[in-house]
Every structure is written in structure tokens, then in C-alpha cells.
Amino acid sequence: MTVTKGSLLSLLFISALLAFSTGLAGDLQVYPVRHVHNQQGLDNPVDYVAGSGYYGRMKVYMVELDSRWETDTPGIYYHNGFLGFAFDSTFYLDDLGGSIDRTVIWDAATPGYGDVTPENLMAIVVLTDMSQSTPASSDTIGGSAHPFDAYYNDACAAATIDEQWFNTVNDDFTHSVFLEEGTASWCPSCPAMAQQLNYAHDFYTDYPFFYAAMVVDMDVSAANYMDATYDHNWLPTTYFDGGDTVWVGSTAWYNIGAMVQLCGDRVVPGFGLSIELAHLGGTEYEVHFTLTENQGPNQPPPPSGTLQSYVGGNCQLTVSTTDPEGDQVSYRFIWEATDTSGWTDPTGSGEECSASHAWTAEGDYDVVVQARDAWGFESSWSAPATVIIHSYMAGDPSGDLKINILDATYIINYLYKGGSAPNPPAAGDANGDSKTNILDVTHIINYLYKGGPPPIYP
Ligand SMILES: [Ca+2]
Ligand SMILES: [Ca+2]
Ligand SMILES: [Ca+2]
């Protein structure tokens, strides 16, 4: 996958960041966590029982978009500062195919953040596979090992107020990726990573990932969680997707993008995961999340329909595909290299969907279409259908973009009365046989008065 941002603005942005990032590439600087609390386990641990189902942990992180916590650099604040879990539990899906649908209430006043504003709040739901772990550590500094059992994330979704959003699955990502930034407000090496995470998130808009700043000296629940989960020792340390990648110290935004890509490549079961966040009034918020096993729609065939038209003429194209779970399906088209449509309104699995487009220049255009199900899973793009856009309308030798009796008269004048030729000549070929003769007159008259077929291109 490549970053598809070619605008001059982006290039300037990259140049500026490269210059900035060079300054970060010096000595690795980290600081040990100052432990001021006791390590503790999960709120609701469930012993693992071997079985055929899926053993998972679902957490809902409540984060403050523009964090109240300032980094060690005056004026630079964290983003997505962790305020607590609205939900944290392990669970089983007896067999893949089971589902979860939960609504929970989170009171911002309980952990002492009753002053958070609804517009500055985001809920992030993270699904972790608890059935298997991988040994991991943050022991790259001074040979001091801090091993932990890494349980990787399989899905993630985030919503701000009055939004619903989904775990993203497409050709480039098997799931949305989640990062935890272990950091502290007193730590001199931490502001750089906080800034680079923010840059990375702003820049890689095509990459589905979210992160939370776990500011361990400001929020005791963040500290307890980071201890219990990661034996968190160095500041800053960023844990990608539950420890699939552990990055100790700061790094540049483009390295963060590369690590997000690697995590997003990991093969995971397909999960539809949605979350929505609502303000109940006062300090109370409602978080609704759902989980189900899911697969994306099948790759659609090339679109069919009007495959020849004229400059400015509408082409109507039709497509349909099926979804393995029978979910409703939306479509989007790439009409031209830089022109991708929005998603259509959902239609039933297997039902036809139509969309139209008008081109502004003659030429051959390869149109492709992609499907997305109700869980946001995207299909592969279809093979292309070639649309040919002519400089003229078929059967319109008069060139006024209308077909009427004057076009029949035009051809008769040209054929028998020394009138001027259609321009281009093919505009007089109403029946598409690559010749202009009396049969084209008949074709137009049949179309106009006898319910015959419209003029066609050769
Ligand atoms: Ca589906
Ligand atoms: Ca005409
Ligand atoms: Ca003809």
C-alpha cells in the first residue's frame, strides 16, 4: 500500500516534518516509570477454558481529545488523554458467529473528570484475543528485561459524541489498529512522541488507527492498567495493538505509520465491531457497542449499463454483489483517476444499485466499483468496465444534443441535397453500422414515432 497523497501541500508538509524529525533521531532517551502504586490485575478476570470458541477481552477507553494534561514541554498538551474505562471484561463467543450488544453508562464524575465537555470526548472500543499470548518485552535499554505476555488486538473502533463508527476492514487492513502511549507529564523525552503520534494520526488519514495517551503520573487507573498489562517501565513506550510491536523511546511519525501498517496486516478473525457515544446530560454518557463475526461483501463484477455516451451526457451504471451474512451493501465508484464517488445508500445483498456520472472530456475511462457492508467491511475493487465518451451524441448530426425530426432532415439534406456533412461524420450514423445512409433516417424516425430503439454508437 502506498500513501496516495500527492498534493503540493502534502509534499511541503512532509518536507517540514522530515526537517523536524531529524532532530529526534539523536540518542535514545527514556526514563524509568516512577511506580507509586500497587500492581493489580483485571477487574473481572475469567480463567481461560480451552474450547473452540473465541475468548476475548473488550475494553472501552474514554479519552479526552485535547487532553487536560500538559507534557513536560510547556504549551504542548497530550491528545486522547485516557480518563478511564467505561467497560472492561473478558467474554466468550461460544462459537464464532455469536455476537455481543451492550449499552453501558459512564459517569465522568466518578473518576473525577466531571468537567470534560461532550465535544472533547471520544470512546474507543478495543477487542483483544485472550486465547493466545506471545512473549514480549521492552528490554531494549541497558539489558534490563521487562517481559510481559502480549495479547494482540483483533479489532477497534472509536466514536465521538453522537457518532457511530466501525472497525475498518479493507484490502490494506485486516482491522483497525490501536496504540497505547505509555507516558508521563514530567518526562523530558515524552513530548516528542506525543507530537509525532498526533502528526501520524493527522497525516495517515487512510490508515484506520486510534491511540490513547496513558499518562501514568496523572491518572492512577492508567498507571495500574499499564503495570498490569505491560509491566510498563520506560517512558515513553508505545504499545502497538496490545504489544504486537513495542516501541521504547520516541520515533518519527512515518515510522509510526509503518508500524501501524504492519499491525494492520496481521491475520485476524473478521469481526464487525461498532461503537456509538451519546451524552445523557450532566456528567453521564452512554456507550453502545456491538460485536459479531463478519466477512466483507464479495468482490462485485464490473459495472454494466451505459458504456458509451457523449461529453456531458449522463451514464447510468448498475452493479450488484452479495454479502456472506446477507448484510445491506453500499457501493462507491472510481469514475476517473481522481474522482471517487461517495457511498451509495444501502441496498439489500444481491439487489441492483445504480449510479450515474457525466464526463467532461472525450476518451476511454476505466470505471471500477467497490462494495461495503453494514459493518464497514470493504470488498476488493471490481475489474474495470470501460466507458467510451464521444465528442458527439449518437443520432444527433445537428449537434444540439437533442434527437428530433431535424436530425432526420439533416441526414436527408446531406445525402440527397448537397447539405453539409455531420460533424463528426459518425454523428449521422444513428444505427451504429459505421455508415451513414437512409437506414439512419429510418432508425431516427422509428425511435421518435414508433417506439424503436434509441440511436446507438458504433
Ligand atoms: Ca458482512
Ligand atoms: Ca439534434
Ligand atoms: Ca448507419
pTM for the full model? 0.76
Q: Classify the phi-psi angles of 430: left when phi > 0, otherwise alpha if psi is within -120 to 50, otherwise beta.
A: alpha
- Nearest ligand to the CA atom of 407: 2
Instruction: Summarize the confidence of residues 338-360 as an average pLDDT.
Output: 93
> Pick from 422, 423, 426: which is nearest to 414 by CA?
422
Per-residue CA distances from 262 to 172, 204, 209, 256, 258 (Å)? 10, 14, 12, 10, 6
Number of C-beta neighbours around residue 410 at 10 A: 22
Per cent of the chain over pLDDT 90 is 75
DSSP assignment string, 61-99: EEEEEEEEEE-SSTT-EEEEEEEEEEEEEEEEESSBTBE
**Ligand 2: distance of its center to the CA of 447 in Å?**
13
- Interval 394-446: pLDDT, tens: 999 999 999 999 999 999 999 999 999 998 999 999 999 999 999 999 999 99
Q: How far is the CA of 393 from the centre of ligand 2 (A)?
A: 9
Ligand 2 geometric centre to CA of 429 (Å): 13
pLDDT at 34: 72
Q: What is the pLDDT of residues 300-346, one digit of tens each?
A: 999 999 899 999 998 999 999 999 989 999 999 999 887 889 999 99
Residue 26 has pLDDT above 70, yes or no: no
Q: Counting ligands in written order, which one lies closest to the CA of residue 326?
A: 1
Q: What is the gyration radius of the CA atoms in the chain, in angstroms?
A: 29
Residue 425 has what DSSP assignment?
A: G
- 429 C-alpha vs ligand 1 centroid, how far in Å? 47
CA 108 to centroid of ligand 2, rounded, Å: 68
Distance from Cα 298 to the centre of ligand 2, integer Å: 43
Which residue ranges form the domains of the chain, and what is each CATH number?
Answer: 8-293 (3.40.30.10), 304-390 (2.60.40.10), 393-458 (1.10.1330)
Q: Cell numbers 472501552 label which residue?
A: 60
CB atoms closer than 10 angstroms to residue 333:
24
Residue that wins the pLDDT comparison between 338 and 294: 294
- Write phi, then psi, for 179 (nearest 5 degrees): -120, 140
